[in-house]
Structure 1
Amino acid sequence: MPTTPSPSSPPPPTYAPYGQPGNAAAPPPRPKSPPPPSDWDPAPPRSRAGLIVRHVCTLLYFPFHVLLLIALFAAVYAFGLVGELLIFFDKPMLRLLEWALDPFPFRPRWWVTPRELRHERAGDPEFYRGWVGEQLGRPKPAVTTTFIRFHVYRGIGARGLLEVAAEHGWQPDPDRRLRPLRQVHLIRTARPDTR
């Protein structure tokens, strides 16, 4: 015996259960989401509380980090000295030194110095441009390779770093892998008048 629909239930559709209504309007288009940020764009500023916590942790961790680097240098130097005296390796020792020191950078990425604490939240790109210019203007004319770490160009991104580097006569090193969220290796050709 068929049941009659209750007044609170919706009326049955007038079209087939799996069909589409013929005169319904198309759904509105979804708004486009902004593209994800590129590795070459400026990094967003971190929160003030997070920066303060990182700065305090930097001050507490710094002595331990120095002792760790001294011990690591001593171990690699001792192993390299024995290797060069006994086996006469030259290039493999340099690769070993780079491989051993790569996981332990001189300055960890999470460190926050007082200088960064003052300027990062302000989002001042001119501060970072000046800092990059200061780093690139420091080497002597005979120096043809250098690298800039991420914390120096954080506020302008790797793209901004390359713009400032081009103004100082530097370009990306074609022999090194590009790692814009870690560091960028740069190279310049020595001018004949600076020798």
Structure 2
Amino acid sequence: MSDGYGQGGQSGHDGQGRQQAYGQGYGQQNPYAQQNPYAQPVPPQQNPYAQPAPQHPAPQYSAPQYPAPHPHPHPAPPAGAAGFPGPAPRRSRAGVLLQFLLQWFYAPLWILALAALFALLLFAGGGGPAGPDSDGWLKVNRSFLPPRRLRAELTGRPEHWEAYLAPILDRRIRRAEAEDGWEPAELGPDGVRTARVRLALRFYRGLGAAGVVRLAERYGWAGFAGGTDEEHVTVSRRIAPPPVQGPVPQDRPAAPGTPWGPRPSRFVPALPFLLVLQLVYAPVYGLATIWVHRSDPEYWSNWGARWMVGPRAIWPEVTGSAAAWDRHLRRILERDATKELAKLPGEYHRGPDGGFLRRVRVDLATYRGAGAHHVLRVAAETGWQLDPSYPPRPEVSVRLCRPDRTPAA
């Protein structure tokens, strides 16, 4: 079988193949090597035949073109990071050691005191004294000193600070790239979202904000001057919308069982029990797993959309009628669209020309028996279309958008 380099069979791999010919071409069969005066004596008048070698300088002209783009991005990050503050003054070693030793005593007491305070507020009602505006006093972890940071604080060496900060920055950047910027009000008409990471001074004291920016540039991020001050540094990245798109309303209706087609109705006798159970199970499950981090920013809404049932959706599911599903879909879509169109333009992220997108989400419970493609067909009648800013997920919801523009003043 040919591998694309030989003529066929094994000509690209055996001793008589073309790769062998290239290997020999520079040693024995190269016409320029035969005319080389060092390889074979020739009369002086034949020297012009050796001149084709200087015409082989194509790589000499192209070589500077490849490294040329690389020097520009590399000097650029330090230039951008130079505008950010450098390392902060070191803390007292005695104070750092004292904090590390005492934290093993006051941290558990602090947590117990917070638990007692919450219990008191829960049973005392709303007549107690008001707490501070900031919630910083609730986060005991801010004053906790891990061993890696202890080492960096004591030595003050940049490599130790980088070893402490690098895994934290990596974790926060990955989380921000998956979660940040998905709110409808934060997305502009171009669908580009902005992910941001904000770090307190305790994470990068020995590196400075400039050092944080240099580390973030390894991930393609940049410093955000608007969110950086003496006590914090902010890095950000603009992320283009996903290229995946769904069908258009004019396409043929999606077949049942396909991602965009109708889905089978659930077990009818179980629907009333699901309706009652979700009123109890959903809050309990939410409270029991509130501390679990979810990589999906829409985990809770998608989780509910997969199995919950609305009172108005029971009849379409029971009958399985396409007309019932169509009426239910139109009623819910009209309700949500009216609510969305009533919002003020100032609540949206607008483009340079004043344009923005109204956005509506339709859950699976609204179109289960009609199909996600039917949502697009009904929405197109009033100017709504599939929102290109979000990756299509017809198994849980359909995101719709409608162009709008701020009226001229």
| TM-score category of the 2 structures, normalised to the smaller one | 0.5 to 0.7
Is the CA contact 2:259–2:394 (under 8 Å) kept in the aligned structure 1?
Answer: yes
Say whether residues 1:131 and 2:348 are aligned partners.
Answer: no
Alpha-carbon distance in 2 for matches of 1:55, 1:153? 18
Alpha-carbon distance in 2 for matches of 1:194, 1:68? 48
- Equivalent of residue 40 in structure 1, options 260, 274, 278: 260
**Identical pairs, percent:** 26
Gaps of 5+ in 1: 1-34, 77-95
Deviation of residue 97 (structure 1)?
6.4
Equivalence for 2:316 = 119
SS of residue matched to 1:188: strand
Matching residue's letter, 2:276 = L
Alpha-carbon distance in 2 for matches of 1:194, 1:40? 39
Say whether residues 1:160 and 2:374 are aligned partners.
Answer: yes
Alpha-carbon distance in 1 for matches of 2:256, 2:329? 23
Larger-gyration structure (1/2): 2
Alpha-carbon distance in 2 for matches of 1:107, 1:37? 21
| Alignment RMSD | 3.1
Matches within 5 A, 1:98-117: 99=296, 102=299, 105=302, 107-117=304-314
Deviation of residue 115 (structure 1)?
1.9
Deviation of residue 176 (structure 1)?
1.2
TM normalised by structure 1 equals 0.56
Gaps of 5+ in 2: 1-254, 349-357
Is the CA contact 1:170–1:188 (under 8 Å) kept in the aligned structure 2?
Answer: yes
- Equivalent of residue 387 in structure 2, options 148, 173, 177: 173
Alpha-carbon distance in 2 for matches of 1:130, 1:55? 22
Equivalence for 2:7 = none
Is the CA contact 2:260–2:372 (under 8 Å) kept in the aligned structure 1?
Answer: yes
Matches within 5 A, 1:33-112: 37-46=257-266, 50-70=267-287, 72=289, 75=291, 99=296, 102=299, 105=302, 107-112=304-309
Is the CA contact 1:54–1:112 (under 8 Å) kept in the aligned structure 2?
Answer: yes
Matches within 5 A, 1:2-21: none
Equivalence for 1:184 = 398
Alpha-carbon distance in 2 for matches of 1:70, 1:60? 16
Q: Which has the higher helix share?
A: 2
Alpha-carbon distance in 1 for matches of 2:295, 2:304? 15
SS of residue matched to 2:296: helix
Alpha-carbon distance in 2 for matches of 1:60, 1:70? 16
Deviations 1:38-65 (A, max 9, x none): 322222334xxx2221331341342231
Alpha-carbon distance in 2 for matches of 1:106, 1:68? 11
Pairs aligned (count): 138
